[in-house]
Structure 1
Amino acid sequence: PMLLPDAALLAGVPEDILCFSRSFEDLTCFWDEEEEEAASRTCHFYYRDVLTACAVSTWRHGASRTRHVCVFPSQDVRLFTPLHLHVLNATTNQTKYWRELSVEAVGLIAPPANITARWAGAAGQLYVSWQPPLVDYLNFFLYEVRHCPASSPEMPFSTAQDPSGQRPGDPSIRPASSTHASTAGVATASPGVEQGLVQTNTWVVLQDLQPGVRYHIQVRSKPDGTSMDGVWGPWSQAVAAETPHSSGDIGLYCSTPDLQHVRCEWSWDTAEPHSSHQLFYRAPPSGAGTREDAWQRCEEASVGAQGSHACTFQPRAGSAISVLVNITRPHVPPTLSYFKEPFWLHQAVLTEAPQLVQVTMSQGRLSLQWLPPLEALAEQLDYQVRYAVENSHDWKVLQVPRAARKEVLDLRPGARYCAQVRAQPSGPWYQGSWSAWSKPVVVDATADAGKGQGRSGGCGHRSHTAKGRRAR
Structure 2
Amino acid sequence: MDSALNWWILISCLIKQVHLEPHLSKQDFALLAMDEDPKCFTRDLESFACFWEAPAEKSYYFFYEMDGFVQTKRCDVKKQTYEEKVLHICTFPSSDVFMYVEIHLRVIDRDTNTTIYNRTVSVENQHLPYPPTNISLHPTGEVGQMLVEWKKLNKPPVYPQYEIRYSSKNTSNTVTLVSKHSHKLVSLVAGENYTVQMRVKPEGELNHFWSGWSSPVTAMVSQKAGDIELRCHTPNLHQVLCKWRGELYDDGRSSFHFRQINRSSWGSWKLCNKDNNTVHQCVLYGQESSVYQFYLRVGLQPFGRTFYAETFRINRNIQTRPPEGLKAQPEEGRLCLSWYPPFLKISQYLKYQIRYQRQGESEWKDFTTPSSKTSTCLDVHRGSQYTIQVRAQPNGTVYSGEWSDWSKSFTALVPLGKEWIFIVCIPVALLIIAFAMIFFFSRYFRKVKKTLWPSVPNLNKVLESFLTDISGSHLEPTFNIKQCDDDTATSVLEILPEKETSVKSCKKPTCHTLPDRGFSAGVKNGQNCREDLEMVQDYVILNNDIIPCFTGNDYVYGDTALSHLASEKLHRCPSPCSTTFRECSTNILNHSYLLLAEQSDLGEYHSACRRYTNMEITSMTYDASGE
Does residue 250 (structure 1) correspond to residue 228 (structure 2)? The answer is yes
Does residue 300 (structure 1) correspond to residue 316 (structure 2)? The answer is no
Distance 1:70 1:155, change over 3 A: farther
2:98 to 49, 56, 78: 78
Distance 1:291 1:397, change over 3 A: closer
What is the CA distance between 1:72 and its match in structure 2? 0.6
Distance (whole Å) between structure 2 residues aligned to residue 357 and residue 351 of structure 1: 16
Distance (whole Å) between structure 2 residues aligned to residue 413 and residue 377 of structure 1: 36
Aligned position for 2:61: 44
Amino acid at match of 1:341: A
What is the CA distance between 1:349 and its match in structure 2? 2.9
What is the CA distance between 1:343 and its match in structure 2? 3.4
What is the CA distance between 1:27 and its match in structure 2? 0.7
Does residue 422 (structure 1) correspond to residue 409 (structure 2)? The answer is no
Aligned position for 1:186: none
| Equivalent position SS for 1:7 | helix
| Equivalent position SS for 1:342 | coil
Aligned position for 1:432: 401
Aligned position for 1:9: 31
2:159 to 140, 152, 156: 140
Q: Deviations over 1:114-166 (max 9, x none)?
A: 3333334433333332222234x4873222222334xx5x975433xxxxxxx
Distance 1:26 1:285, change over 3 A: farther
Residues 118, 242 of structure 1: 8 Å contact kept: no
Does residue 18 (structure 1) correspond to residue 39 (structure 2)? The answer is yes
1:103 to 114, 123, 134: 123
Residues 356, 438 of structure 1: 8 Å contact kept: no
What is the CA distance between 1:48 and its match in structure 2? 0.8
Distance (whole Å) between structure 1 residues aligned to residue 193 and residue 135 of structure 2: 16
Residues 338, 376 of structure 2: 8 Å contact kept: yes
> What does 1:202-217 correspond to in 2, within 5 Å?
202-217=181-196
Amino acid at match of 2:270: W
| Equivalent position SS for 1:225 | coil
What is the CA distance between 1:52 and its match in structure 2? 1.1
2:381 to 397, 400, 412: 412
Name the TM-score, length of structure 2 as normaliser.
0.55
Q: Deviations over 1:349-369 (max 9, x none)?
A: 322223456643222222223
Residues 47, 53 of structure 1: 8 Å contact kept: yes
Distance (whole Å) between structure 1 residues aligned to residue 361 and residue 171 of structure 2: 58
> What does 1:44-443 correspond to in 2, within 5 Å?
44-49=61-66, 50-63=71-84, 65-135=85-155, 137=156, 140-149=159-168, 152=169, 157-159=173-175, 196=176, 198-225=177-204, 230-244=208-222, 246-269=224-247, 275=252, 277-283=254-260, 293-298=268-273, 299-302=275-278, 309-314=280-285, 317-326=289-298, 336-345=304-313, 346-356=315-325, 359-375=328-344, 377-378=346-347, 380-389=349-358, 393-427=362-396, 430-443=399-412
Aligned position for 1:168: none
- Larger mean CA deviation between 80-89 and 372-381 belongs to 372-381
Aligned position for 1:192: none
Residues 326, 338 of structure 1: 8 Å contact kept: yes
Residues 245, 336 of structure 1: 8 Å contact kept: no
Q: Deviations over 1:195-241 (max 9, x none)?
A: x2x22211222333334444433222212238x97311111222333
Name the TM-score, length of structure 1 as normaliser.
0.70
What is the aligned length?
390
What is the CA distance between 1:113 and its match in structure 2? 3.5
Residues 222, 308 of structure 2: 8 Å contact kept: no
Q: Deviations over 1:322-354 (max 9, x none)?
A: 2315368xxxx9995441332333443322223
Q: Deviations over 1:235-275 (max 9, x none)?
A: 12223334455544433332222233322223344998x94
How big is the alpha-carbon RMSD for the aligned residues of Structure 1 and Structure 2? 3.7
Distance (whole Å) between structure 2 residues aligned to residue 336 and residue 23 of structure 1: 38
Where structure 1 has 5 or more consecutive residues not aligned to the other structure, the ranges are 160-195, 304-308, 451-472
What is the CA distance between 1:405 and its match in structure 2? 3.5
| Equivalent position SS for 1:48 | strand
Residues 147, 217 of structure 1: 8 Å contact kept: yes
> Which of the pair is proportionally richer in helix?
2
| Equivalent position SS for 1:46 | strand
Q: Deviations over 1:6-58 (max 9, x none)?
A: 12102233x2221111011111111223x3xx74x643111115321111112
What is the CA distance between 1:422 and its match in structure 2? 1.5
Distance 1:349 1:293, change over 3 A: same
Distance 1:370 1:131, change over 3 A: same
Rg larger in 1 or in 2?
2
Distance 1:276 1:29, change over 3 A: closer
Amino acid at match of 2:272: R
What is the CA distance between 1:389 and its match in structure 2? 3.7
Residues 162, 179 of structure 2: 8 Å contact kept: yes
| Equivalent position SS for 1:230 | coil
Distance (whole Å) between structure 1 residues aligned to residue 261 and residue 24 of structure 2: 48
Percent of matched pairs sharing the same residue:
30
Distance (whole Å) between structure 2 residues aligned to residue 199 and residue 270 of structure 1: 38
Distance (whole Å) between structure 2 residues aligned to residue 366 and residue 238 of structure 1: 70
Where structure 2 has 5 or more consecutive residues not aligned to the other structure, the ranges are 1-22, 420-627
What is the CA distance between 1:386 and its match in structure 2? 1.9
Distance 1:377 1:344, change over 3 A: farther
| Equivalent position SS for 2:244 | strand
Distance 1:284 1:47, change over 3 A: farther
Residues 285, 293 of structure 1: 8 Å contact kept: no
- Higher relative contact order (CA closer than 8 Å, sequence separation 6+): 1
Q: Deviations over 1:49-97 (max 9, x none)?
A: 532111111234444x532211111101011111111112335544321
What is the CA distance between 1:375 and its match in structure 2? 4.6
